[in-house]
Amino acid sequence: MPYLFTSESVSEGHPDKVADQISDALIDHFLAFDKDSKVACETLVTTGQVVLAGEVKSNTYLDVQQIARDTINKIGYTKSAYMFDGNSCGVISAIHEQSPDINRGVDKVNREEQGAGDQGMMFGYATNETENYMPLALDLSHKIMLELAALRRENKEITYLRPDSKSQVTIEYSDDHVPQRIEAIVVSTQHDEFVLPRSKSAADVDAAEKEMVAKINKDIKEILIPRLIAKLPEHIQVLFNDDIKYHINPTGKFVIGGPHGDTGLTGRKIIVDTYGGKGAHGGGAFSGKDPSKVDRSAAYATRHIAKNLVAAGVCEQVLVQVSYAIGVAEPMGVFIDTYGTCPFNMTDGEIAEKVSKIFNMKPAAIEDRLKLRNPIYSETAAYGHMGRKNEVVKKTFSQVNGEDLTVDVELFTWEKLDYVDKIKAEFGL
């Protein structure tokens, strides 16, 4: 019997994502000026306030307050009407030095034997149902948010948008797990109060709100969705139909939003960041952590493995798990689940054994293979860490003394299909 599956995404202006982006902006600045920096930085944002807390070991000094303000302004919180903007918010820093008890287990004389920054298990997932090997419901949810952000920045076709928004997509699958159609789309977007009531009477207030919601509903369906569909491959376009249930700002007007409407914290959108509920998640957040923290680096490494396995034809979808003990370089083990989609006679355990031969999963090896000691993390902090475009970009960072550093960095290295040939050779494909 067909079944439904749902995933959600949130915009860069969502308060939790604001926190993630500030934390990762700090990571990038530390790594830009000291590649050996060890950082674990948490951010809290609320009405008119930013609180930075965490542990750092680095040879560089940063103006963390200015980095936070620049990040907030870049997102789009630039007006006092939002009750949270980069120029006027308070920024409190409670960042201190990293515990030597933790650091002694990570730093080793022989860098190749660098220990894991913490214990835990990390998961990577890939499926062939989309071109970027991501689950379709999450991929479409991200794309809706990206298109809405583009419309907000263009400020032409839709002129009332504010930074905070959320999306959700429900897909109907067949019994053999093939997407059949889109069942429902949810979009909630913060907006200006662009229709004012004629008076303070309840009737006039209600009429103004209904007029705004009707306009937003019309614009999402007639401007955003067609722009989205036009950018999708044909086999995904056909999943859109006239029977889709749309829920646009279903609770009514959404003027009060962002950190003023909801407190934001680093690391509260880990399912949005990964696979939208498909596969599994080990529970560790990514943003604000340097790559010695395997919560982040090993999650990227397992995604890299999963994507290359599917692309090589080993399976149609796969879940890859790796686990670590703090201070120990060798992982506790590698687990593979192909969900019965391996087309040849090989068990998941046998596949895991071959994967362990192909991929060195020691933390230092992961850092080197995926170039994780570069300032590449700000781009990961909104619209998902997985399924993104691998590309080289130029980035500029400013020091406290006013000097700038410009570097070329390769983003989303874990999305490269650079191990397909090695996998095919090992599996005899």
Q: Tell me the DSSP string of 59-79.
A: S----HHHHHHHHHHHHT---
The answer to whether residue 251 is domain-embedded is yes
User: DSSP secondary-structure letter at 190?
Assistant: E
Do residues 178 and 249 both lie within one domain?
yes
| Residue 391 assigned to a binding site | no
| Residue 55 assigned to a binding site | yes
| Residue 253 assigned to a binding site | yes
Write out pLDDT tens, residues 24-56.
Answer: 999 999 999 999 999 999 999 999 999 999 999
Do residues 232 and 298 both lie within one domain?
no
DSSP state string for 102-134: HHHHH--SSGGGPPBSS-EEEEEEEETTSTTSS
Do residues 228 and 345 both lie within one domain?
no
| Residue 42 assigned to a binding site | yes
Q: Are 336 and 357 in contact (CB under 8 A)?
A: no
Token readout for 423 is 């996998």
| Residue 285 assigned to a binding site | yes
**Can you give the residue range of the structural domain that contains 147?**
3-9+136-256
Q: What percentage of residues in the chain have a pLDDT greater than 70?
A: 97
Do residues 302 and 251 both lie within one domain?
no
Q: Round to whole Å and give the CA distance between 184 and 4.
A: 10
The answer to whether residue 181 is domain-embedded is yes
Average pLDDT, the chain: 95
At residue 386, the pLDDT reads 98
How far does the chain reach from its first CA to its final CA, in angstroms?
Answer: 34
At residue 379, the pLDDT reads 98
User: DSSP secondary-structure letter at 390?
Assistant: P
pTM score, whole prediction:
0.95
Q: Round to whole Å and give the CA distance between 27 and 46.
A: 21
Do residues 160 and 231 both lie within one domain?
yes
**Is residue 151 predicted with pLDDT exceeding 90?**
yes
Do residues 247 and 302 both lie within one domain?
no
Do residues 332 and 245 both lie within one domain?
no
- DSSP three-state, residue 206: helix
Higher pLDDT, 393 or 102: 393
| Residue 293 assigned to a binding site | yes
Burial of residue 399, with CB atoms counted within 10 A of its CB: 0-12 exposed, 13-18 middle, 19 or more buried: middle
At residue 180, the pLDDT reads 96
Residue where a domain terminates, one of 210, 234, 256: 256
| Residue 268 assigned to a binding site | yes
**Is residue 7 predicted with pLDDT exceeding 90?**
yes
| Residue 312 assigned to a binding site | no
At residue 107, the pLDDT reads 57
Q: Are 221 and 283 in contact (CB under 8 A)?
A: no
Backbone angles phi, psi at 37, to 5 degrees: -60, 140
Write out pLDDT tens, residues 235-259.
Answer: 999 999 999 999 999 999 999 999 9
In terms of Cα–Cα distance, which of 103, 127, 130 is closest to 117? 103
Mean of pLDDT values over 124-144: 98
The answer to whether residue 221 is domain-embedded is yes
Domains contained in the chain, number: 2
- Work out the number of other CB atoms within 10 angstroms of the CB of residue 192: 13
| Residue 219 assigned to a binding site | no
Write out pLDDT tens, residues 277-313.
Answer: 999 999 999 999 999 999 999 999 999 999 999 999 9
Q: In sequence order, what are the residues at sequence separation of 6 or more whose Cβ sits closer than 8 angstroms to the Cβ of residue 300?
A: 124, 366, 370, 372, 385, 413, 414
- Work out the number of other CB atoms within 10 angstroms of the CB of residue 233: 9
- Tell me the pLDDT band of 399, cut-offs 50, 70 and 90: confident
The answer to whether residue 83 is domain-embedded is no
For the four alpha carbons of 7, 12, 16 and 21, in that order, the dihedral sign comes to positive
At residue 100, the pLDDT reads 58
- Work out the number of other CB atoms within 10 angstroms of the CB of residue 52: 23
Q: What percentage of residues in the chain have a pLDDT greater than 90?
A: 91
At residue 209, the pLDDT reads 96
Which of 14-28, 113-127, 146-160, 187-201 is the least confident region? 113-127
**Is residue 417 predicted with pLDDT exceeding 90?**
yes
Indicate the residue type of 128: N
The answer to whether residue 367 is domain-embedded is yes
Do residues 317 and 380 both lie within one domain?
yes
Q: Round to whole Å and give the CA distance between 290 and 294.
A: 9
The answer to whether residue 52 is domain-embedded is no
The answer to whether residue 63 is domain-embedded is no
- Tell me the pLDDT band of 111, cut-offs 50, 70 and 90: low
At residue 35, the pLDDT reads 95
Write out pLDDT tens, residues 179-198.
Answer: 999 999 999 999 999 999 99
At residue 402, the pLDDT reads 79
The answer to whether residue 229 is domain-embedded is yes
- Tell me the pLDDT band of 105, cut-offs 50, 70 and 90: low
| Residue 215 assigned to a binding site | no
**Is residue 314 predicted with pLDDT exceeding 80?**
yes
- DSSP three-state, residue 266: coil
Residue where a domain terminates, one of 206, 229, 256: 256
| Residue 234 assigned to a binding site | no
| Residue 164 assigned to a binding site | yes
- Work out the number of other CB atoms within 10 angstroms of the CB of residue 237: 12
Do residues 143 and 252 both lie within one domain?
yes
Token readout for 86 is 């980069």
At residue 422, the pLDDT reads 97
DSSP state string for 39-53: EEEEEEEETTEEEEE
Radius of gyration of the chain, Cα coordinates, nearest whole angstrom: 23
Residue where a domain terminates, one of 207, 234, 256: 256
Q: Round to whole Å and give the CA distance between 27 and 20.
A: 11
Do residues 330 and 415 both lie within one domain?
yes
Do residues 245 and 369 both lie within one domain?
no
Write out pLDDT tens, residues 337-380.
Answer: 999 999 999 999 999 999 999 999 999 999 999 999 999 999 99
Task: State the CATH number of the domain containing residue 298.
Answer: 3.30.300.10
In terms of Cα–Cα distance, which of 189, 188, 164 is closest to 84? 164
Do residues 251 and 298 both lie within one domain?
no
